[in-house]
Amino acid sequence: MRSRPLQHFNLSVRFHAGVQAQLNDAYRKGVLKHNEEVDKNRYILSKLIDCVKFCGAFELVLRGHDETEESLNPGVFRGLVDFVSSIDSAMEAHLKSATVFKGTSKTIQNELLDCMLEVTRETIVQQLRSTDYVALQADDTTDVSTKTQSVLVFRYIDGNSKVVERFYCFSYLKDSSADTISAAILNELNLILPERSGKEKLIAQSYDGASVMRGASGGVKKKIRDIYPNAHYVHCYAHQLNLIMEQAASKISRVRIFFKELVGITAFFSRSPKRTEVLEQIVARRIPRGSATRWNFNIRAINIIHEHREDLAECMKSITQNTTFDSTSVCEAKGFTRTLEDKEFLFFLLLFHSIMPHVNILYNQLQKRDVDTLFVQRATSDFVISINKVRESIDNLDSELPHDCQFTNRKLQISTLIQEGKETSLLNRYGLISFSTEEQSRLFDTSE
């Protein structure tokens, strides 16, 4: 088995001089030399760990593209190590004289991260086993290589009687099915809470609103509760505001269709680098995709499409006239060209261009850690006032639409859109007000 470089660095325990050292002068000198070497190596290692912790605290990438001695941009970690050596003579001497272990290679960086993670997880496991109640939070995400991985977070009361949240691990998943996700979670839980009493202390599990997670018959929630009967399901409150706004707006079919078309435009470019290249040449901007759990993220797409509508239409026409594009791209581009000239689409684009900034402001306000019930009530009240102002201005939206736009549906009248626009603003307003004060305070209680 390949030895690990960190094992060649002498960090063993310090020796204590006994009777043999008193009788043998050479042995005593050997003990002193050994202890000095251990102390020096531990000091050097502590500085390297401090550099790693600094990068982690500020979410900085450790490694650079080129970490050679001659590199002008070796990366944050190497830069920190060089900086420490400039103000620490022991570190400087180590870097100049070290032959076996210098501590700056990518292998050592990875080993330091692994060791720090192992120590942290051991501490978390000890706290989880000693606490009376534990709550589980899980979600899945993708890494830079587009591989799906599950994120596991525990919420519990530590030894200081404080409610804490601790990230525990990532688990790579072969797919996003309920069986795969629940198996990954249960595998970790079985290692952390192996005793029978551990199965009773897990009192809550929290996921997003996807059916694979919250499904009553075959979802992850049900599979976890079959093993841990006290693990009651709690919806992830971080997503709930956006889900309220999304559900309120989707009550009107034309609004629901508008957001489907909006997502279609963003997805059209994201699925093809060739289409993205044309977009960047003409519009000089990329259209960000929305998020299923963060409805306010649509504001970025709405703003770009509203501000660059003519450029986007020109981009679509360029794709249809370019003979190098496949038939699917040409057909979809023709359809989106008509969408960008449709009066109905542009009406709702302008309407939500006015509404979404207020939703975004409210979302950011309520996601702060130091919110309380009075703050939530005040923020909600300000949101309602802003939406009422938007509703009062809907009658004048027709005059702000481009003069060259036409209704694709010839039977549709602008008065119908104005009425539905007012209904949309009301649904957004009352959808939020329908929450009681208690629910609002619970919704955004992310302290600690």
Phi, psi of 166 (to 5 degrees): -130, 120
Please give the pLDDT value at position 295.
Answer: 58
Cβ atoms of residues 282 and 314 within 8 Å: yes
Q: Give the C-alpha separation, 110 to 87, whole Å.
A: 25
Q: Is the pLDDT of residue 177 over 90?
A: no
Q: Is 387 helix (H, G, I), strand (E, B) or coil?
A: helix
β-strand pairing of 148-157 with 134-142: antiparallel
Q: Is the pLDDT of residue 201 over 60?
A: yes
Q: Give the C-alpha separation, 250 to 191, whole Å.
A: 43
CA 238 to chain centre: 12
Computed on alpha carbons and rounded to an integer, the radius of gyration of the chain in Å comes to 30
Please give the pLDDT value at position 189.
Answer: 92
Please give the pLDDT value at position 345.
Answer: 92
- Sign of the C-alpha dihedral, residues 85, 86, 88, 89? positive
How many CA atoms are closer than 13 Å to the CA of 429, on its beta-carbon side? Answer: 17
Please give the pLDDT value at position 60.
Answer: 86
Please give the pLDDT value at position 435.
Answer: 47
Selection from 246, 249, 255, 245 nearest residue 348 by Cα? 255
When comparing pLDDT for 135 and 99, which is higher?
A: 135
Q: Is the pLDDT of residue 156 over 90?
A: yes
- Average pLDDT on 258-267 reads 86
Number of residues in the chain: 448
